Amino acid sequence: MRSQLFVPADSEKKLEKGLASGADCLFLDLEDSVALGAKPKARRLAAEFLAEAQRRSPRPLLYVRVNGLESGLIETDLEAVAEGAPDGVVLPKCVNGAALQHLGAMLAVKEAQADLADGAIKIIPIVTETAAALFNMGTYAGASQRLAGLTWGAEDLAACLGAEENRDEDGAYRGPYALARNLTLLAASAADVPAIDTVYLNFRDLAGFRLECAAARRDGFIGKMAIHPAQVEIINEVFTPSEASIARAHAVVAAFAADPEAGVVSLEGEMLDAPHLKRARRLLERFSNKSWSAS
């Protein structure tokens, strides 16, 4: 999944625009972008949208951002959308791996009631929205077979810390938020799942957005969340492997295959070892799976 577009689930118009956006995945939002009084409507529209969109081919992946485990709203959220067989749910304000297990148990019940396969609904948690969560980043590895990726957020964390700003004058994340970003990347690698970069709020600043996408790809994120359809095309472009990088990865794999007993091989004047092979295989696996091909 290169691009994940947040869509407020209480807006039929925005849901339809999301479907036409080219995003690899839609995050139907029942949480922050929906006022409390509008949540019943959002649940109903999300359920209807899931039922209708499932019949389309091709279609993007469909995830639902539910309200948090401590909100008192999540049970009603899941009750409303489970029968629509979403591909997954986004769990906000996730504190640790035990929270994944808690949600997984809730989903297992809903899957049984909706006659879905056990484990069919995956989970992407947002793992940096509270200060406490940052101390538990190592708990996601092995926590749940449903885990489909890790992502992070800077806005709720800033609110938790009482910060005035989370970026400096040049637009770079300040210390606590850069730490949260880096920990998410490390935690995702430890859990062997994709790392997804957070949103960029200034949707009119497409040049700055492109730079942030490129930095995320460089560091190891496989995609980025979007808050506006205008951001989707840039995400898809930046996070799609180039033909040159694919050809290079094939060459690296072939070089090691030609000498299976070698720990180090030479390719185009460079000495390559196991980490280079691992990176090449990961890129080719992403490309061959083409997790964005449904869009």
First to last CA, the chain: 10
Q: How many CA atoms within 13 Å lie on the side-chain side of 115?
A: 0
Rounded-to-integer distance, Cα 283 and Cα 253, Å? 11
Distances (CA, A) of 170 to 45, 155, 156, 173, 227: 40, 18, 21, 9, 21
Rounded-to-integer distance, Cα 263 and Cα 7, Å? 48
- Please give the tally of structural domains in the chain: 2
Per-residue pLDDT of 159-196, as tens digits, reads 999 999 999 999 999 999 999 999 999 999 999 999 99
* Together in a domain, 250 and 211: no
* Together in a domain, 283 and 235: no
Which among 114, 122, 119 has a CA at the least distance from the CA of 25?
122
* Together in a domain, 231 and 278: no
* Together in a domain, 32 and 178: yes
Over residues 16-44, the mean pLDDT reads 97
Q: Is the pTM of this model over 0.75?
A: yes
Per-residue pLDDT of 230-248, as tens digits, reads 999 999 999 998 788 888 8
* Together in a domain, 115 and 195: yes
| pLDDT at residue number 263 | 86
The domain in which residue 252 lies consists of 243-289
CATH at 71:
3.20.20.60
For residue 81, is it within any domain? Answer: yes
Per-residue pLDDT of 47-74, as tens digits, reads 999 999 988 889 999 999 999 999 999 9
Distances (CA, A) of 152 to 12, 87, 130, 294: 27, 20, 10, 24
